[in-house]
Amino acid sequence: MDKKSPPNIYGVLGYPVRHSLSPLMHNAAFQALKINAKYLLFEKKPDELEDFLHSLTKENIYGLNITIPYKEKILDFVTLDKESFYLKQIKAVNTIVLENSIWKGFNTDIPGFSKDLKENIDPTNKRVAILGAGGGARAVAYVLANAGAREISIYDIDKKKSKEVANMIKSLFMNFRISSVDDIGQLDINQKDLLINATPIGLKDTDPCLIKEEMLHKDLFVYDLIYNPPETKLLSLAKKRGIRTSNGLKMLLYQGMLSFRIWTNKDAPQEVMWQALRGEN
């Protein structure tokens, strides 16, 4: 490793991002493979976004993960190749890389979530309720429809967004049963097999729990994309009821490994990254 040359910069762009554990796993991976690179947090307010994106090359930034609330907005900035052009319909990009002076966009949330979900529960023929309709929910809904879920109900406080996700899935998967609902009660969680939180509600200690205890039943599986804190109020409530749960830490690992591969063309050191996420190194 040439210590005289400045490191290539990678990072995660969002607002907020201070809770992100991505720097832990990526910097551990760079160190393990002796790659002269650093992974940083880029917390940018919406009015700072455009200036930041136009400064990437000047700042020696070669790749970024994109998180809330910019997974849709970043589409205006990137080029999608033939393999990832379907992301125009999904409207969610979470990884960008500079290749031959062109910023290319990918979604590693989709395979990352798919791998983790299938390690926990087979989504085939499952009835699913989704909280949230942002970029994460778009990836989740795509994975579920593609994996053969029976039906999806989706709720977001912004009804327009939940209808857009439903329409997106219907356009990609003909005759798939997906509906947007007007309130959480209409999700009929007591009739579902899988409940997924794809909102940022749960990141802060002061956040409420969106789900009432009586909505949960023992055969439900509850998956929260939030991984920090490791146990949100929703997961805590589910565990209290003896329900199987998962947070998004393994999804973070798997999508991070794919992002690492896109940026470096090297296989990500899975065990190194997992230990870093768990605070074991």
What token pair was written down for 160? 């327009």
Asked whether 234 and 222 are in contact (CB, 8 A), the reply is yes
Q: Which residues are catalytic?
A: 71
Does residue 22 contact residue 12 with C-beta atoms inside 8 Å? yes
Using DSSP bridges, classify how beta strands 61-66 and 95-99 pair: parallel, antiparallel or unpaired.
antiparallel
For residues 68 and 134, is the Cβ–Cβ distance under 8 A?
yes
Closest CA to 40 of 68, 55, 59: 59
Q: What is the rounded CA–CA span in Å between residue 232 and residue 201?
A: 9
d(CA 184, CA 78): 35
Query: What does the DSSP assignment read for 48-68?
Result: GHHHHHTTTTTTTEEEEEE-T
Q: Which among 252, 204, 244, 207 is positioned nearest to 225, based on CA atoms?
A: 252
